[in-house]
């Protein structure tokens, strides 16, 4: 099964993956260090440099993989199954987004809604909502220019929860 993910374009994609890229860069430097250690005259120094390079490679490689997996998971849409059709879900999410003060970046009724939060501390957190029949797909990521942040990840979970509440709330007049 192919999972659906939020698409980032150009510079946003590059900025979002900067932590992973830095870890990859450091891992490459550790590989260069390991290769360079083969040319050292002293065996004791070569072993020490190789050990440091291997340690750095494992550490930066593991950290980079951790960042990459977390970022890929955040980009993945969460499917919310509702009993309503796309136009009704779209209207409910749009109303909730406006009430929450989100800046609507793109709204193509009733198929998609992309927004960014407006608060000073979480400016630029991205929220993407897609509507497919009775299903609502939602993803939210930290601001790509700020980078990976645990506080931002918590805010993103709150944004997803807001969308879940909006599409599961009883209809007005029902």
Give the pLDDT score at 109: 85
Show pLDDT as tens, one digit a residue, over the chain (174 residues): 346 888 887 887 888 888 899 999 999 999 999 999 988 888 898 999 999 999 999 999 999 999 899 888 888 999 999 989 999 999 999 999 999 888 888 899 889 999 888 655 545 688 999 999 889 999 988 876 666 677 778 888 888 999 999 998 776 555
Distance of CA 120 to the CA centre of its chain: 19
**Do residues 155 and 117 make contact, with C-beta atoms less than 8 angstroms apart?**
yes
Pair type for strands 112-116 and 78-81: unpaired
Give the pLDDT score at 121: 52
Give the pLDDT score at 142: 82
Q: Is 136 exposed, middle or buried (0-12, 13-18, 19+ CB in 10 A)?
A: buried
Strands (E), the chain: 78-81, 103-108, 112-116, 126-132, 135-141
pTM exceeds 0.85: no
Closest by CA to 142, choosing from 21, 15, 20, is 15
Give the pLDDT score at 1: 38
Provide CB contacts within 8 A for 2, sequence distance 6+: none
From CA 174, how far away is CA 164, in angstroms rounded? 19
């Amino acid at each position: 099964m192919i999972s659906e993910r939020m698409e980032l374009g150009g510079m946003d994609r590059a900025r979002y993956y900067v932590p992973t890229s830095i870890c990859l860069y450091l891992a490459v430097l550790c590989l260069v260090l390991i290769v360079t250690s083969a040319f050292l005259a002293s065996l004791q120094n070569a072993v020490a440099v190789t050990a440091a390079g291997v340690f750095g490679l494992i550490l930066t490689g593991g950290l980079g993989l951790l960042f990459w997996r977390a970022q890929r998971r955040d980009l993945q849409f969460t499917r919310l199954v509702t009993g309503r059709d796309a136009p009704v879900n779209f209207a409910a999410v749009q109303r909730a987004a406006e009430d929450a003060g989100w800046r609507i970046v793109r709204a193509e009724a009733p198929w998609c809604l992309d927004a960014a939060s407006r608060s000073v501390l979480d400016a630029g957190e991205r929220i993407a909502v897609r509507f497919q029949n009775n299903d609502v797909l939602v993803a939210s990521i930290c601001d790509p220019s700020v980078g990976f942040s645990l506080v931002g990840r918590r805010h993103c979970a709150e944004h997803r929860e807001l969308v879940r509440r909006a599409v599961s709330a009883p209809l007005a007049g029902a």
